[in-house]
Amino acid sequence: MVVDSKLYDILGISPDASDAEIKKAYKKQSLANHPDKNPGDENASQRFQEVANAYETLSDPDARAAYDRYGDADGMPGMGPGMGPGMDMDDIFGGYDGQRIVFEGEGDQLPDTKPASIIFELKQKPHDTFQVRNLDLLATVNIPLAEALLGFSRTILTHLDGRQIHVTKKQGEVIRPNQVDVIRGEGMMDQRYLDRRGDLFISWNIEFPPDDWMRSTDAELWGGRFTGETDPIMHAFNESLSYDKRMWAQDIRGSQAYAKALIGCGILTEKEANQIIEGLNEVGKEWENGTFKAAPEDEDIHTANERRLKELIGAVAGKLHTGRSRNDQVATDMRMWMLDELDVLVKLLKELICVMAKRAEQEVDVLMPGYTHLQRAQPIRWSQLLLSHATYFLNDLERLQSIRPRVSMLPLGAGPLAGNPFAGLDRKKLAEDLGFDAVGINSMHSVSDRDFIVEMLMWTSLFSVHISKMAEDLIIYSSSEFGFVQLSDAYSTGSSIMPQKKNPDSLELLRGKSGRLFGNMSGFMVSLKGIPSTYNKDLQEDKEPLFDSIDTTKACVQILTGVVSTMTINAQKMRGALTTDMLATDLADYLVRKGIPFRETHHISGSAVKMAEDRGCELSDLTLDDFLTLNPAFEADVQKVWDPEESVERRNAIGGTSRRAPIAGAVTTSTLALLALQSVSADVDADRPKFVPSTVEGLFVEQFTPGWETRWALSKTSKIQSGSEEEFKYDGIWAVEEPTVFPGLAGDDSLIMKSKAKQHAISSLFDKPITFDGTKPFVVQYDVKMQNGLSCGGAYVKLLNADAGKLDSAQFGDTTPYSIMFGPDRCGADSKIHFIFHHKNPKTGKYEEKQLKAPPQAKITKVSTLYTLIVNPDQTYEILVNNDSVAKGSLLEDFLPPVNPPKEIDDPKDKKPSNWVDEAEIPDPKAKKPKDWDEDAPAMIADPAAKMPSDWLKDEPLMVPDPEAVKPEEWDDEEDGEFVPTLVPNPKCRDVSGCGEWLPNQIPNPAYKGKWSAPMIKNPAYKGEWAPRKIPNKDWFEDKQPNKFASVGGVGFELWTMDDGIAFDNIYIGNDPEKALKFAKETFEVKLPVEQKREQTEIEKDPEFVQGRSRDQPVWERVVSHIRHRTNVLVDRLTTENDKVHVLLQSKDILGFYAAVVAVLLGLVGLTGSLLSGGSSATVPPTKKVDAPVPPTKEDKKEEAASTAVPTKTTVTKRVPVTESKQ
């Protein structure tokens, strides 16, 4: 009997369900509750997650047993019995000094006593930054006077959970001494209402300069010529640090490179240059950590960095500016900053294009009206509209990249205007060190040129036009009048007064931002007009419009990417908006095909439209007689014109709406994404070898080279879910393209599953079936790449049975007979490599499924894995993963049910005699319980020496209602129930030993002996293990050559998975293991190192990306995810690699974790034993004899024989070429 059936109820099964029933129920519930199948249902995601959590627990035998016994641990996967939910930082933030957390009745329980309670008392340590006031936090932040007056945008402090608190104060927002600002919702968590927090109060402490700072003339870079003081207003008017400080990293990099260059001029020694470089590194760390303090005299980022450098390293810092002016310095910083931003923009734009192309590919079947002048024009595909906008963005991408060469011209070394006067300054080396493509060829041009900024502002303006156009389309289509598109809640807002409204604010803001970007461009161009040659202070006005335009554009791209990836479409409403009058052009085209000139057909079609309007009917409602009154060329086939699908398919020229048209077709929509990827990844993928097809031949070889679509066909059938009447179409999307996760060879396409939680089916039929005479080896080999992992689903291949009837790719599904199924499969913790074949019963003529008894474990990775099956003429088989043998055995012995049935079977009529005794041992009837044996004595008793402390307040409760609790204004007694204040620790109990009922401590009972039982003796009546007699099996036959499989007429993938992105490639089917090995060496073994190198690069950059974890996960989830990932990696490597010791040495982290767990468990066991034995080491005389070993039964011997016949799963041998022998 189970304690809790909630998880069983979620899956819709009974607590006694088998593993197969659990798995089947999981697939059914996953499909039924998948968010893709429940658009608009806000609870679908939660139900879907509950189904996944239920399966994760119930599919693991240990977790299921613990759940049945202890119930749900707050619904949190990965937690063992008896453990509560993990405590995240929010829980800790909600505590307060002196708080007592009481778990009533959760302590030790002794016989005949009330269970003790567990009490935790929180002691709060003083914090360096924060003070606590109820739920609010208070922090003091120091800022220089310049920031108080002129504004800033930076991180001011680090929160308790490690997040950076960023504050922006615009110019004009002056901070006054002792001013306090409030940041809402950044305080402590309210334990009563978990979604509420206190506030964070920031007290500003302004650091004023010394009284004589204005008299320090050497503070100005241009001091010496001037003796008067700068007016404070002029100083504020002149400064640019408040906004150009974002270039701190570029300014430091430029100065470090210039310091190296000054060595060649003899200005700096190598020691001095290194001193400057190290000092600048320290300055950079201060900027990075948010600890850099600006001084009042800092005009801009250049003076700020130089001033701080001088403070750190002394007078040698003054040499750095030798031969360098702020004119060439700022121009260099601007270009470096813009080059960095170009890379970011290119990446964001590429992601947007890929999202749009992928969406277009998935929704290519959706038809909708196309519009001109906002009037319905012709039927189009929704994908055509999406890709039209994506093409604008692709052109924008190309234009953006064309700016780079004109930005990448080094100004440094041009001096103020006339060049650098010091011989030995190598500007080409400077350009190389700083990543510039070339050196500015004219010093006066270099310091004054801002054309590259104008180009960038022009680009952002044109790009904003394209974003505005797409935003306007989506705004119109999301309106109630159209209803084609619905934005997700994440990118919509509501009305402050009209609750029914869902406003597309994200799109309206995108549309509105174009005006801002145009203003930045035109404003700066006006600033440039009339400036004389070389540098003028007017050029300081270049930064704010540039910074703002790039920031705005990046935000626009990210918002639009989010909108496109999360919006939903109403395909039915789109299709329903199509009317036959939109096919008037098709009617004219119909007559053109009859030989009538288009101008005449246009008039005839218009007359038909007028006729339909006059009659108030659809154009398709006109009869053939009606059309014949307009022109005698009309025939009965005119009715075919009214199919909108046919209309879009007829437009199959390049760029058209037909599936067969390049770019817009279902298979080739990814072309646009690939263009975007290839256009920006040349530098990243320069080390990727190019794909070269192998020339190895076999019975069937597929590398998905051009023309693959003539060899493969999609299924058009459907599938009836077992146990229900629900029908599922094979509508999963396939594409042939390069994998995007850890890409391998350039140009190496794979067959990729593009949909999640959908039925996929695709097959390739052979011109001539493969037959088997049993005299040759047979090899099936392919590689598979789980780009997004494999949580539940298969990646196996089926060899289709040609003897069971005619094969039809369009009807290929789960009921299509197959000869062999081979490949990986995984659901939860259950991972295996299937090898199943259908054997023809020679007596009945029916095919029976034979499954490998002990399938080896599958290897689930995001790089390619090679799976090979070899069946030999001697009826043996071998399974290899990445050319390493992981299983081998016999077709005759290792499959269930066995190929050949037993020759003899148990006689079903033979029954065990009623007087048969099969108990080998019985309790000794002569044994007597000792008289002094007390079975009722408890194991633990109250300590007679214990006394209640004199200050114990037994009449005071531990927790009392919070006297300061106030019912919230929004509290609704009808909906929320009666308001009950939260309980807080009783203040009367704080300074005493305890409150409430006092119970003495428990100690071991010296009189405890436990229940007595008699010792066991041999049973004199024992007759042995009974077994029925054997009789001949009438169904017996003997097939010594099960490798004579049914003929194979094709190969196919018929799969359902929870994950998309599974890529199949390099399929080899043949009779030669050596050729299969050669094929693998020319394909798989060439691309695998490339993928592994890319994987290692990504791991070094972001280990969480590879492990598939999100930084937004709670800490406990990330810990569990990391442990699960590292465990899976260790198991996979131990299963597939030869050097086990090397693998273990490389896995010290996860082994250390499990060692710690074992140590804790052993400690708990020891502690429990010590408590039960009273801490004494004296042994207790045994009261019951140990059972003698029971002789093995016949069934035990059978199972033992069967287990020894199964090859050890951890046996790994390296696959090497073998010399071909005669069949």
Q: What is the mean pLDDT of residues 1023-1029?
A: 91
The size of the chain, in residues, is 1223
Q: Which of 181, 95, 89 minimizes the C-alpha distance to 135?
A: 95
Alpha helices in 206-269 (DSSP H): 232-238, 241-244, 248-264
Residue found by looking up tokens 């050319």 in the block? 883
Residue found by looking up tokens 């086939």 in the block? 637
| Residue partners of 507: CB distance under 8 A and separation at least 6 | 471, 472, 474, 475, 478, 487, 491, 563
The H-or-E segment that residue 225 falls in is none
* 1117 has pLDDT over 80: no
- CA angle (573 as vertex; 571, 579 as ends), nearest 5: 110
What is the pLDDT, as a whole number, of residue 1148? Answer: 56
Q: What is the mean pLDDT of residues 1066-1080?
A: 96
Q: What is the mean pLDDT of residues 668-676?
A: 43
Instruction: Tell me how far the alpha carbon of residue 574 is from its chain's centroid.
Output: 31
Q: What is the mean pLDDT of residues 981-999?
A: 86
What is the pLDDT, as a whole number, of residue 1018? Answer: 93
Is 1122 an active-site residue?
Answer: no
What is the pLDDT, as a whole number, of residue 494? Answer: 67
pLDDT band at residue 1156 using 50, 70 and 90 as cut-offs:
low
- In degrees and rounded to multiples of 5, residue 711 shows phi and psi of -100, -20
| Residue partners of 884: CB distance under 8 A and separation at least 6 | 1136, 1137, 1138, 1212, 1213, 1214, 1215
Secondary structure in 3-state letters for 416-453:
CCCCCCCCCCCHHHHHHHHCCCEECCCHHHHHHCCHHH
DSSP single-letter state for residue 995? B
| Residue partners of 450: CB distance under 8 A and separation at least 6 | 524, 528, 539, 542
- CA angle (396 as vertex; 393, 401 as ends), nearest 5: 130
Q: What is the overall mean pLDDT for the chain?
A: 81
* 83 has pLDDT over 50: no
Strand partners for 785: 1063
Cα separation, 802 vs 790, in Å, equals 31
Residue found by looking up tokens 């011997």 in the block? 1197
Q: Which of 347, 384, 579 minimizes the C-alpha distance to 473?
A: 384
The H-or-E segment that residue 193 falls in is none
Q: What is the mean pLDDT of residues 1046-1067?
A: 94
Q: What is the mean pLDDT of residues 235-239?
A: 70
What is the pLDDT, as a whole number, of residue 503? Answer: 84
Preceding peptide of 897 cis, ω within 30°: yes
Q: What is the mean pLDDT of residues 57-67?
A: 83
* 670 has pLDDT over 50: no
Q: Which of 153-162, 869-878, 967-976, 1135-1144 has the lowest mean pLDDT?
A: 1135-1144
List Cβ<8 Å contacts ≥24 apart for 807-811: 807/763, 807/765, 807/1049, 807/1050, 809/712, 809/713, 809/714, 809/715, 809/762, 809/763, 809/764, 809/765, 809/1050, 809/1052, 810/713, 810/714, 810/715, 810/716, 810/717, 811/715, 811/716, 811/717
Q: What is the mean pLDDT of residues 1117-1123?
A: 52
What is the pLDDT, as a whole number, of residue 1114? Answer: 41
> For the segment 238-269, what is each residue's pLDDT rounded down to a tens digit?
677 777 888 899 999 999 999 999 998 888 89
pLDDT band at residue 145 using 50, 70 and 90 as cut-offs:
confident
What is the pLDDT, as a whole number, of residue 113? Answer: 59
Residue 851, both tokens: 């499954």
| Residue partners of 879: CB distance under 8 A and separation at least 6 | 833, 835, 856, 867, 868, 869, 885, 886, 887, 888
What is the pLDDT, as a whole number, of residue 678? Answer: 44
> For the segment 265-274, what is each residue's pLDDT rounded down to a tens digit?
888 899 999 9
Cα separation, 120 vs 360, in Å, equals 57
> For the segment 290-313, what is each residue's pLDDT rounded down to a tens digit?
889 988 878 888 888 888 999 999
Tell if the pTM clears 0.75, that is, is over it: no
Cα separation, 136 vs 130, in Å, equals 10
Q: Which amino acid is at 1205?
A: A
Q: Which amino acid is at 1163?
A: G
* 1204 has pLDDT over 50: no
Cα separation, 607 vs 622, in Å, equals 12
DSSP single-letter state for residue 175? P
Cα separation, 760 vs 16, in Å, equals 32
* 684 has pLDDT over 60: no
DSSP single-letter state for residue 707? T
What is the pLDDT, as a whole number, of residue 132? Answer: 82
Active-site option among 18, 373, 480, 914: 373
Residue found by looking up tokens 């210039």 in the block? 258
Active-site option among 402, 495, 722, 1170: 495
Q: Which of 88-97, 575-584, 1147-1156 has the lowest mean pLDDT?
A: 88-97
Q: Are 259 and 235 in contact (CB under 8 A)?
A: no
Better-scored residue on pLDDT, 539 or 484 = 484
Q: What is the mean pLDDT of residues 537-544?
A: 80
pLDDT band at residue 1164 using 50, 70 and 90 as cut-offs:
low
Give the three-class secondary structure for 635: coil
Q: Are 367 and 646 in contact (CB under 8 A)?
A: no
Give the three-class secondary structure for 138: strand
* 1124 has pLDDT over 90: no
> For the segment 815-868, what is each residue's pLDDT rounded down to a tens digit?
999 999 999 998 766 789 999 999 999 999 999 999 999 999 999 899 999 999
Secondary-structure breakdown of the chain: helix, strand, coil percentages, each rounded to the nearest 5: 40, 20, 45
What is the pLDDT, as a whole number, of residue 650? Answer: 81
* 1119 has pLDDT over 90: no
Better-scored residue on pLDDT, 222 or 1208 = 222
Cα separation, 774 vs 875, in Å, equals 9
Q: Which amino acid is at 687?
A: D
* 278 has pLDDT over 90: yes
Alpha helices in 1033-1176 (DSSP H): 1073-1082, 1084-1101, 1103-1107, 1115-1136, 1140-1145, 1148-1172
Q: Are 1068 and 696 in contact (CB under 8 A)?
A: yes
pLDDT band at residue 1171 using 50, 70 and 90 as cut-offs:
low
Q: Which of 180, 172, 183 minimizes the C-alpha distance to 141?
A: 180
Residue found by looking up tokens 């007596």 in the block? 843
Taking residue 182's Cβ as centre, other Cβ atoms within 10 Å add up to 12
Q: Which of 243, 127, 139, 242 minimizes the C-alpha distance to 183?
A: 139
Cα separation, 1000 vs 183, in Å, equals 50
Q: Are 886 and 1207 in contact (CB under 8 A)?
A: no
Residue 711, both tokens: 């060899």
Q: What is the mean pLDDT of residues 152-156?
A: 87
Q: Are strands 200-207 and 136-144 parallel, antiparallel or unpaired?
A: parallel
Residue found by looking up tokens 């190929």 in the block? 899
First to last CA, the chain: 59
| Residue partners of 452: CB distance under 8 A and separation at least 6 | 335, 338, 403, 406, 407
**Secondary structure (DSSP) of 765-797:** EEEEEE---SSS-EEEEEEEEETT--SEEE--E
pLDDT band at residue 1141 using 50, 70 and 90 as cut-offs:
low
Better-scored residue on pLDDT, 356 or 1009 = 356
**CA 1049 vs CA 61, 709, 1018, 1046, 1072: distances in Å:** 40, 18, 64, 9, 19
> For the segment 583-596, what is each residue's pLDDT rounded down to a tens digit?
888 888 888 888 88
**CA 836 vs CA 48, 563, 849, 877, 1143: distances in Å:** 31, 45, 7, 12, 31
What is the pLDDT, as a whole number, of residue 109? Answer: 54
* 411 has pLDDT over 50: yes
Is 235 an active-site residue?
Answer: no
Cα separation, 688 vs 745, in Å, equals 6
The H-or-E segment that residue 334 falls in is helix 326-362
Secondary structure in 3-state letters for 289-318:
HCCCCCCCCCCCHHHHHHHHHHHHHCHHHH
Q: Are 761 and 881 in contact (CB under 8 A)?
A: no
What is the pLDDT, as a whole number, of residue 958? Answer: 83
> For the segment 422-440, what is each residue's pLDDT rounded down to a tens digit?
888 889 999 999 999 999 9
- CA angle (542 as vertex; 395, 284 as ends), nearest 5: 95
What is the percent of the chain with per-residue pLDDT over 70, rounded to a whole number?
79
